[in-house]
Amino acid sequence: MSDILNRFAQAESHFRPQTASEFFALQLARKLGDTSRIRHYLSLVGQHSEPVICEAFASTKAKPEETLSKSFEIELRQITQKGGP
């Protein structure tokens, strides 16, 4: 089990946010339990507004039937397809 934790710690330890957007992306990745994909979340935060990201996250937390990161991706896609806030 410690190997898994070490991987997450290493992925996160290499990234140091320099901007508010980067910090937001890091917090999102942490809350989704997916810090190993921080670059992906940086990209999403760059592509979508904060309200859209927050809406997708709230929807994800409301119905966590899948892994959080996968559910978040689905929610974000659905929100952006319908126009988002």
The model's pLDDT over 5-60, given as tens digits with 9 standing for 90+, comes to: 555 555 555 788 999 999 999 999 999 989 999 999 999 999 999 999 999 999 98
Res 68: pLDDT: 87
- φ, ψ for residue 18, nearest 5 deg: -110, -15
Please state the domain count of the chain: 1
CA distances from 47 to 7, 30, 44, 53 (A): 27, 19, 5, 10
List the domain range (segments joined by +) for residue 53.
2-82
